Amino acid sequence: MSLSKEKKSILITGGAGFIGSNFVHHWCQNYSDDQVIVLDALTYAGNRQNLADLENRKQFKFIQGDICDRPLIEKILKEEQVTTVAHFAAESHVDRSILGPDAFVQTNVIGTFTLLESFRHYWNEQGNPENSRFLHVSTDEVYGSLEADDPAFSEVTPYAPNSPYSASKAGSDHLARAYFHTYNLPTIITNCSNNYGPYHFPEKLIPLMCINILLGKPLPVYGDGQNIRDWLYVGDHCSALETVINKGKAGETYNIGGNNEVKNIDLVTMLCELMDELASDLPVKPAKELITFVKDRPSHDRRYAIDATKIKTELGWTPKETVENGLRKTIEWYLNDQKWWQPLLSKDYQEYYQKVYG
């Protein structure tokens, strides 16, 4: 059943974070009549400024709160007559999960369980409407690591998470799947590859490299730099999620990839070359002179790759951006929006940076 033409009241958890805020902008731009409710705890990676241009929109509401707060979730679902949940809220950085796994289990597992339980009871009270959806946004890291010649991850690849982060996301995926099979709750799971684009917190690889180049700081590359990731521009990811909400089948899983497998060292080199071209007055030029290899992190997965055949053949979605075009757009955003990222380089961030990179 296609839901694209039906007016929705959509609850977006984690909507002040990186992918979540991009999705909020995407949805508001394309569905101006829909009621959009953003729930975000505004932890270190959540930034209300990401949504500043939407605050005066009549059908937009921001609520600061925790997805583990069941009374709050139940209140929002009932008062806003929510038809769709898009669940982005998560602790999402592998390095932080190694330093402190507790928050990852609490948010990613307990938080997802709380949302599912609250939505299940609300959905039952509403008479199990067919137009309801619970979209659970997850990661390709639940599938573990690939060797160079292994086929890409598909929707039937066995789960084999290797970090506290990916294990916690695997647990939340299993809960979302179980709630469909046990309670017939209309859940859909998406597993995406590495995202990049605007509003990306500077601890992640691409914004970290962009900002360090601008500051003339070393560019830390783990191990030998040969780890491979599939890179998905966040705008493409948002269009895929829109497609899944409108056309996806309840109970299904859809893998979302960018068809852009790149070695980490090649990606960093590409960023250096683009920054040399696009940025004026760099402290160090050519920027690649800043590349510094650092000790590899524990259980660093060697390769991720997504087979996105299912979403292409069943729902008609394919990514539009090449990694070169997407990186150029991303760099231009970071160059033009330095007032956004400069305040994020706080004392807490600097302390975290020292713990990870020394």
Contact of 223 with 263, CB cutoff 8 Å:
no
Structure tokens at 63: 């609520």
Residues near 32 by Cβ (< 8 Å), separated by ≥ 6?
59
Distance CA 168, CA 14 (A): 16
pLDDT at 353: 86
Domain boundaries, the chain: 9-198+231-260+302-322
- At 274, list the tokens: 């683009």
β-pair type (228-233, 261-263): antiparallel
| CA pair distance 72, 126, nearest whole angstrom | 18
Task: Map tokens 């970290």 to a residue.
Answer: 208
User: Which residues participate in catalysis according to the annotation?
Assistant: 140-141, 165
- Decide: 134 and 176 in contact? Cβ < 8 Å: yes
Instruction: Round to whole Å and give the CA distance between 177 and 187.
Output: 7
pLDDT of residue 92: 87
In the block, which residue shows the tokens 């055949």?
Answer: 309
Q: Which CATH superfamily is domain 9-198+231-260+302-322 in?
A: NAD(P)-binding Rossmann-like Domain (3.40.50.720)
Q: Is this model's pTM higher than 0.85 or not?
A: yes
Tens digit of each residue's pLDDT, the chain (358 residues): 556 567 899 999 999 999 999 999 999 999 999 999 999 999 988 999 999 999 999 999 999 999 999 999 999 999 999 999 999 999 988 889 999 999 999 999 999 999 999 999 999 999 999 999 999 999 999 999 999 999 999 999 999 999 999 999 999 999 999 999 999 999 999 999 999 999 999 989 999 999 999 999 999 999 999 999 999 999 999 999 999 999 999 999 999 999 999 999 999 999 999 999 999 899 999 999 999 999 998 989 999 999 999 999 999 999 999 999 999 999 999 999 999 999 999 998 898 888 888 7
